[in-house]
Amino acid sequence: MAMHSNKIALATKSVDAEIAFDGYPYLRTYKDGRIERLAVSTFVPATDEPGATGVATRDVVIDPGTGVSVRLFLNVAAAATGSRLPLIVYFHGGSFCTGSAFSKLFHRYAASLSARAGALVVSVDYRLVPEHPIPAAYDDAWEALQWVASLSDPWLANHADPMRMFLAGESAGANIVHNVASRAMAPDGDDIDIDGLILLQPFFWGTERLPAEMDWSNGPIFAPERLDTLWPFLTAGAADNDDPRLNPRADEVARLPCRRALVSVATKDVMRDRGRRYAALLRNGEWCREVTLVESEGEDHGFHLIRPRRATAVELMDRVAQFINTSAPSPISSAETEQKLAREGTNKTCRATWANGSGKKVCWRPRSLTRNALVVGPAKPPSPRFGLMLGRSSSSKLVQKGSFAPGGLGRTVALSFP
């Protein structure tokens, strides 16, 4: 009898231990309902003491009902100058199912970004799958962006420059950047003004294989067959890999409401061609006047988080900081120009101006400027005069787009992706 009971117990334990979904290296779910998160990072409390990084932090609960929260990272030295700081809304990665704004991994990155870029960073803590399938993460991110744009928090009101607001994220966070920016251009976009997008090794996928997804010679972290199963899991079976939230349509990318964008890819990442193609779509779009593509040689997905002191990770952070601190175009403020734009129609973008303390909105048409060109040149910080430069350093190449200044800068080239 006892032996029979043991056999039943062992059989039950075996069934309970059966894996329902294997999302290695992030999580596994089991048929008995258990969720095992494999990528766990230590909780780090917020502190108003800047410490070695020179960055003070503070947590704010935006929505007690859903638990949507943010952690603010304030560069104390930059704030002490009295100048308004670039505002970065940051969405962490983790395949939509792991990670937190309060974890050591993403706290460290956001603090480093604030320190290096002299910026005020708002790191969003959104709900995770499988407890909260997509679109919960998008809804939380949108709510957080609306809260940031309201400047209702004292740190935001006193230190942030809403004329220089960036959406940033890596992996799943970069996917959120795209989808939140897409929502900003919708009728309920609330006139949220986005200066730039920063997508680091973005998580995009699709039903059709791109060249990098058929080449396993570099031994990527993520196998294509495993990625094929991820999106249906994240959406609780509601969508497949052709979902435009995962596989953005060219016309949607072309209409994204930003003036500048930076996309980074790692040359061993199986999703690298998705990032390259996304940058090309932005470059040919209606709004984005400057597109920067940074390729990190010999690296794989998320390398800058795992080994932040590596030369390639430091260089990527430098590229991001340079991009954020590149002078943005001055807003058009003359009454004559505003009247002209009003006569031409409503296809324009607006931003607030802080001149004389005014909150007045001024608008302009991105395409009223000279058509951009693509030029080859040295890999160095971008100049406001000219834009698309392609060059190599020891570990990465920089591709950027802006208005062309003629005369000896190099030959015109074209980028194309499947």
Q: Which of 269, 296, 300, 304 is catalytic?
A: 269
Distance CA 35, CA 159 (A): 41
Token representation of residue 58: 């503070």
Q: Yes or no: say if 177 and 142 are a contact pair by the CB < 8 Å rule.
A: no
pLDDT at 28: 94
Q: Yes or no: say if 123 and 83 are a contact pair by the CB < 8 Å rule.
A: no
Crossing angle of helices 104-117 and 311-325, rounded to 10° = 50
pLDDT at 217: 63
pLDDT at 323: 97
Please state whether beta strands 390-392 and 396-399 pair in parallel, antiparallel, or not at all (unpaired). Answer: antiparallel
pLDDT at 327: 57
Backbone region of residue 11 per phi and psi (left: phi > 0; alpha: psi in -120 to 50; beta: other values): alpha
Concatenated DSSP letters of 358-418: ---EEEE-GGGSPPPBBB---SSPPPSS--B-EEE-SSEEEE--B----SSS--B------
pLDDT at 289: 85
pLDDT at 363: 33
**Coil, helix or strand for 123?**
strand
- Quick one: which of 317, 253, 292 has its CA closest to 372? 292
- The CA-atom distances, in angstroms, between 406 and each of 204, 373, 401 are 36, 10, 14
Write out the H or E segment, with its range, that includes residue 125: strand 120-125
Task: Write down the pTM of the prediction.
Answer: 0.78
How many C-beta neighbours within 10 Å does residue 263 have? Answer: 26
Q: Assess whether 301 carries a catalytic annotation.
A: yes
Q: Yes or no: say if 328 and 84 are a contact pair by the CB < 8 Å rule.
A: no
The residue whose two tokens read 């040295």 is: 378
Q: Assess whether 304 carries a catalytic annotation.
A: no
Distance CA 356, CA 296 (A): 43
Strand partners, 120: 74, 87
Q: Nearest 10 degrees: CA dihedral of 199, 182, 338, 260?
A: 10
pLDDT at 355: 31
Q: Assess whether 269 carries a catalytic annotation.
A: yes
- The CA-atom distances, in angstroms, between 201 and each of 13, 211, 247 are 40, 17, 14
| Residue 289 DSSP class | S
Positions of the chain with pLDDT lower than 70, given as ranges: 1-16, 188, 216-220, 327-418
Q: Nearest 10 degrees: CA dihedral of 215, 221, 224, 226?
A: 160
Distance CA 61, CA 68 (A): 6
Q: Which of 69, 95, 171, 396 is catalytic?
A: 171
**Coil, helix or strand for 350?**
strand
Q: Which of 193, 301, 304, 395 is catalytic?
A: 301
Beta strands in 225-312 (DSSP E): 260-266, 290-296
Distance CA 264, CA 171 (A): 10
